[in-house]
Amino acid sequence: MAGVIRFDQHPSETLRVGDGFSLSDVDPDSTPGYSGTKEDGRLLLADMDDELTELQEKLFAESRFGGRKRILLILQAMDTAGKGGIVKHVMAAMDPQGVQFKAFKAPTDEEKSYDFLWRIEKEVPAAGMVGVFDRSHYEDVLIHRVHGWASPDEIKRRYAAIREFEDRLTDSGTKVVKVMLHISGKEQKERLLARLDNPEKHWKYNRGDLDERAFWGDYMNAYQSAIEETSTPDAPWHVVPANKKWYARIAVQQLLLGALEDLHLEWPKAEFDVPTERELILRS
């Protein structure tokens, strides 16, 4: 599409957490690497849908001929940050048969009887799939730390377990894309009020979201520690400013496109003689 404004620098570079990262330095209102407007962002999102669709199909096709590659997108954020919008607007371009989506809720009694990664490992994407975690194993080092449901030593053990788990994922052919959607407390308040102002959004409102706002500073500290402890070369964190929903969507779309491109996908070669098959069809 002519005239579509693209990123000046790929989000995999501008949003990737590096040495000395400080969450407090990230402006939730900013649009790193992108100089376009909301309308420009909307056009870019639509313009890249075909490329996303083709790459996903290549990934799926490779797996049908022994390919082991897969994608896991992990979305973490404070409530109202827009995880659902990412799934709706970014993943909509993909073929549903090639997507594994899992929204993790509070663990069941059975899940609590196992180590925290037990329920997570059961949901990792199969070969050829794009997996999406709406919340994830990181809840066990975020809310558990904020509310003291796990001791400092246990939280430290979980950081190590997460690094080991994600190392195993990447070693087995999984490209892990970890995203924190970063909104401000002011923006969250406005979004909560907007839900109350619209009867069609009342079903989204949860008093628990309001209760957790009282721990905002504690959550930011927990995110800072989790990011520091678990951002690795093969599974880095990307912090996406998310006060502007349109920017968060195009940023995550670009991160997914970049991850798929890094897999160097190829269409499977035909295991039959194409001219012969064509002739048989013509004669049928």
Residue 241 near residue 247, CB atoms below 8 Å: yes
Tell whether the model's pLDDT for residue 37 goes beyond 90. yes
Residue 189 maps to a domain: yes
Look at residue 98 and tell me whether its pLDDT is greater than 70.
yes
Is residue 262 classed as helix, strand or coil in its secondary structure? helix
- Residue 106 included in any domain: yes
* pLDDT, tens digit, 9 for 90 and up, residues 141-182: 999 999 999 999 999 999 999 999 999 999 999 999 999 999
- pLDDT value of position 204: 86
What's the confidence (pLDDT) of residue 163?
A: 98
Count of the separate structural domains present in the chain? 1
212 inside domain: yes
Of 216, 170, 239, 201, the C-alpha closest to 78 is: 216
On whether residue 48 sits in a domain, the answer given is no
Residue 144: per-residue pLDDT: 97
Instruction: Report the pLDDT value the prediction gives residue 3, as an integer from 0 to 100.
Output: 80
For residue 29, tell me if it sits in a domain. no
Which amino acid, residue 240?
V
Mean pLDDT value of segment 102-108: 94
Both structure tokens of 138: 């990181």
In tens, the pLDDT along 121-134 reads 999 999 999 999 99
With respect to residue 31, please indicate whether it lies within any of the assigned structural domains.
no
Out of 192-196, 203-207, 253-257, 274-278, least confident range: 203-207
pLDDT average, residue stretch 102-109:
94
Q: What is the mean pLDDT of the chain?
A: 95
pLDDT of residue 78: 96
Cβ neighbours for 179, distance < 8 A, ≥ 6 positions apart:
73, 74, 75, 76, 237, 238, 239, 240, 252, 255
The structure tokens listed for 104 are: 């993790």
What pLDDT does residue 210 have?
Answer: 84
Q: What are phi and psi of 132, to 5 degrees?
A: -130, 125
pTM for the whole structure:
0.95
- Name the token pair of 29: 């209102």
In a domain, 91, yes or no: yes
Q: What domain range is 141 assigned to? A: 71-261
Using pLDDT thresholds of 50, 70 and 90, give the confidence band for residue 267.
very high
Q: Does residue 2 carry a pLDDT above 60?
A: no
Question: φ and ψ at 248, to 5 degrees?
Answer: -60, -40
User: Are the C-beta atoms of 145 and 225 separated by less than 8 Å?
Assistant: yes
Whole-number percent of the chain with pLDDT over 70: 99
d(CA 264, CA 204): 39
pLDDT of residue 209 exceeding 90: no
pLDDT in tens, 11-33: 999 999 999 999 999 999 999 99
Tell me how far apart the alpha carbons of residues 5 and 86 are, in angstroms, rounded to a whole number. 20
Residue 198 lies in a domain: yes
CA distance 158 to 144: 11
> Which CATH number is 111's domain given?
3.40.50.300
Average pLDDT over residues 220-244: 98
